[in-house]
Amino acid sequence: MVRIITGSKKGKKLTTLEDEATRPTSERIKGAIFSSIQFDIESRRVLDLFAGSGQLGFEALSRGAESVTFVDSERDAMEIVKKNARDLDFFDRSKFSVADYRNYIRKASGRDRFDLVFIDPPYAMECCVEAAMRLRDAELIIPGAIVVLESGTETVAEGDERLSGFEFIKSTAYGKKTAVNILIYRGEEG
């Protein structure tokens, strides 16, 4: 069962896909992520780049985020996100895009800007670092933006030159299968 942990919709259940197409973030990991950024959510414009059921974006909305753009390449997943948005009464604070993350970033460049981003792709894609780089290069994140990367076997390491402009705030491994890295985008001068 996936549910909202706290905020205005605390305890509300979310609908998830019934097949194995998505891997919801565990409640333990989601709780740790939001505990780390709890004072940096209010009024943020959020991007949930690999939305799945939308649970990370909805958790942010429940905690006071201004809006969330949900992106997922699977139409079925986006229908679930829309259903959850309606059920939670967050539809008017949500935008929805069925697109591959690369296409979304390319098309959104110059139109959108975010200050909180969740990048939680299927672990086999190993594209957290690439997605963060693309967001930076497309100027979709503003200086001071928080970027949360959830990965499996992909190595996301402080000092990786591809992540110039980002500062690592927190890195945590959850067993052998999951790592969460929380970064702040300091800008090209950072």
DSSP 21-74: S--PPPHHHHHHHHHHHGGG-TT-EEEETT-TT-HHHHHHHHTT-SEEEEEES-
CA distance 133 to 135: 5
pLDDT in tens, 169-181: 999 999 888 999 9
Please state the rounded mean pLDDT for residues 96-115. Answer: 96
Domains of the chain: 2-185 (3.40.50.150)
Residue that is written with structure tokens 């067993």 in the block: 175
Q: What is the DSSP letter of 97?
A: E
pLDDT in tens, 54-105: 999 999 999 999 999 999 999 999 999 999 999 999 999 999 999 999 999 9
**Percent over 70 (pLDDT), the chain:** 96
pLDDT in tens, 41-55: 999 999 999 999 999
Q: What is the pLDDT of residue 22?
A: 63
